[in-house]
Chain A
C-alpha cells in the first residue's frame, strides 16, 4: 500500500495528471475534514480543498519526499483555509438554539446523539471563535484531526512547547465556553 502510494506520488511529481487524480481521490476527504473544521462551512471547505489541490499540483516539484505527503498537504490546506477564513466576514454571533437539546444530551453522556455537518460547523465556530488563531489551529489539528504533536509542530512550524501551551489554553477556554453555553441554555428554559 505504502509502495503503491509512493509510486503514485512519484508519477504525480513528474507531471502525470492521472496519478495526481488518484492522489486527489485518496486524500480529498482528509483535506475536506481539516478545511471544514477551520472554516466551519461546507461550501467554503470545498473551495479550500479545490484551491489547495491546485496549489499542490503547481508546487508538486517542490515537494520534499523526506516529509510525509499528508503533512505537506495539511500545511497547504491549513494556510489556504486560514486565508479563506480571513476573507470571510464574521457573520455575528452563532445561534445554536435549534440544537441545544442535542448538546445537552451529549453533555449528559447520551451516546446516540449526533450532529449533522451544519450543526457541527456551527458548534466548532461558536467554540473556536473565542480562541486565538494559533490556539484554534492547534486544537483543530491535535484534538479534532488527531495528528501527533510532532506533526502539528511540522504543519504549523511551531516548537512543541508552543503546541503544548496553546493546546492547554485552548482546552481550558473550550471547557469554560461549553459550560457558559449550557448554563445559559438551562437558565433560558
Chain B
C-alpha cells in the first residue's frame, strides 16, 4: 500500500483517535520500517502535545473576576462623548454635501458652457453664410477683424470636428473677439447717433 496514505492514517489514529484505521496501520508498519518510524515519532509528538494540553493554572481567579468587573464599572461611569460624535457626523455630512454640490455645478456649467458656445458658433456661421456682404457683423468678419491671421483656424472650427485641444481655446478667443467687436461697434453707433442728434439740433437751430 502507498506509504503516504498510511502516514495520513497514522495521523488519524494518533491525533484524532480514529480507531477504524488501527488494523490497517498495524498491518502495514509490521513490514515497513519508514512507516514504523513515522508511527513512533507521531506517538512521541502526541505525548508532548498531551502535556501541552494540560490546563494551565489560573492563579487568583477571583482577583481576575474582580479586575474585569471593576474595569467594566469604570468604563460605565465614563461619560459618553455623544456630542463630539454628533458634531463629527454633522461635519462629515456637510463636507459630503458640499463635495456633491460642487461636482454637480461643475458638470452642469461645463455642459452648459459647451452647448452655448457650440450654438453661438453654429448660429453665427449660418448667419454669415446668408449674406456675402463683408460689411455685415457676422462672427467670421469680426474674427477676421480682431484676430487677423487666425481666420484659418476659425474655418476649421466650422467643420464640425471638435476633437482637438485648440478647438476650445480658439472658441474662447473668438468669443472674446466677438464681445470686444460688438462693444466697439455699439460705442461707434452710440457716437454716430450722438453726432446725428447734434447735427439735427444744429440744423434745427
| Ranked 9 nearest A-B pairs via Cβ | A175-B45, A36-B56, A32-B58, A53-B68, A107-B44, A117-B56, A24-B65, A57-B72, A178-B45
Give which listed residue, A46, A54, A109, A168, contacts B75 with CB less than 8 A.
A54
- Beyond A17-B72, A107-B44, is A32–B65 a contact (Cβ under 8 Å)? no
B37, chain A: closest CB distance, angstroms: 10
**Does chain B have a CB within 8 A of A159?**
no
Q: When the two chains form the complex, which single residue of A36, A109, A114 contacts B47, counting CB atoms closer than 8 Å?
A: A109
A107's partner among B47, B52, B64, B65 (CB-CB below 8 A) is B47
Whether A120 and B64, one on each chain, are in contact in the complex, defined by CB atoms closer than 8 angstroms, is: no
> Can you name 23 A-B pairs with beta carbons within 8 Å?
A17-B69, A17-B73, A25-B61, A28-B65, A29-B55, A29-B61, A36-B56, A42-B56, A42-B59, A46-B64, A49-B64, A49-B68, A54-B72, A106-B51, A109-B44, A120-B56, A123-B48, A123-B52, A143-B53, A171-B45, A174-B45, A175-B45, A179-B41
What residues on A are CB-neighbors of B48 within 8 Å?
103, 106-107, 123, 178
Q: CA–CA, A124 to B43, complex, Å?
A: 18
Which residues of chain B (33-50) have a CB below 8 Å from chain A? 41-45, 47-49
Q: Which residues of A contact B (CB under 8 A)?
A: 17, 20-21, 24-25, 28-29, 32-33, 36-37, 42, 45-46, 49-50, 53-54, 57-58, 103, 106-109, 113-117, 120-121, 123-124, 127, 143-144, 146, 168, 171, 174-175, 178-179
Is B71 among interface residues, defined by CB-CB distance under 8 A?
Answer: yes
Nearest neighbor of B8 in chain A, beta-carbon distance: A168
Determine the distance from Cα of A124 to Cα of B51 in the docked complex, in whole angstroms.
Answer: 10
How distant is the Cα of A127 from the Cα of B57 in the complex, in angstroms? 20
* Residues of B close to A33: CB separation below 8 A: 55-56
**In the complex, what residues of A have CB within 8 A of residue B11's CB?**
168, 171
The answer on a CB contact under 8 Å between A175 and B42 is yes
Contact A120 B47 (CB under 8 A): no
Residue of A nearest to B67 (CB): A50
A120 to B64, CA, bound (A): 21
Indicate if the CB atoms of B68 and A24 lie closer than 8 Å: yes
Other CB < 8 Å A-B pairs besides A25-B65, A33-B55, 6 of them?
A: A17-B72, A45-B56, A54-B72, A57-B75, A144-B49, A168-B11
Q: How far does the Cβ of B92 sit from chain A's closest Cβ, in whole Å?
A: 23
B144 smallest CB distance to A (angstroms)? 74
How distant is B43 from chain A, measured CB to nearest CB, in Å? 8
B31 CB to nearest A CB, Å = 22
**Please, how many angstroms separate the alpha-carbon atoms of A108 and B48 in the complex?**
10
A108 to B44, CA, bound (A): 7
Contacts of A127 in B (CB 8 A): 52
In the complex, are the beta carbons of A54 and B51 less than 8 A apart? no
Cβ contacts under 8 Å, A144 to chain B: 49, 52-53
In whole angstroms, what is the CA distance A106 to B58 when docked?
A: 23
- Tell me if B83 counts as interface (CB < 8 A to partner A): no
**Chain A residue with minimal CB distance to B55?**
A33
How long is the Cα–Cα vector from A49 to B47 in the complex, in angstroms? 28
A53 / chain B contacts, CB cutoff of 8 Å: 68, 72
Most chain A CB within 10 A, of B11, B43, B45, is at B45
A121 nearest in chain B by CB position = B56
B54 lies within 8 A of chain A by Cβ: yes
Q: In this assembly, does B15 line the interface, its C-beta being within 8 Å of a C-beta of chain A? A: yes
Q: Which residues of B contact A32 (CB under 8 A)?
A: 56, 58, 64
* A123 to B49 alpha-carbon distance, docked (Å): 10
Q: A50-B67, A109-B47, A178-B44 are in contact. Are A20 and B56 (CB under 8 A)?
A: no
Write out the residue numbers on chain A whose beta carbons fall within 8 Å of the beta carbon of B49.
Answer: 143-144, 174
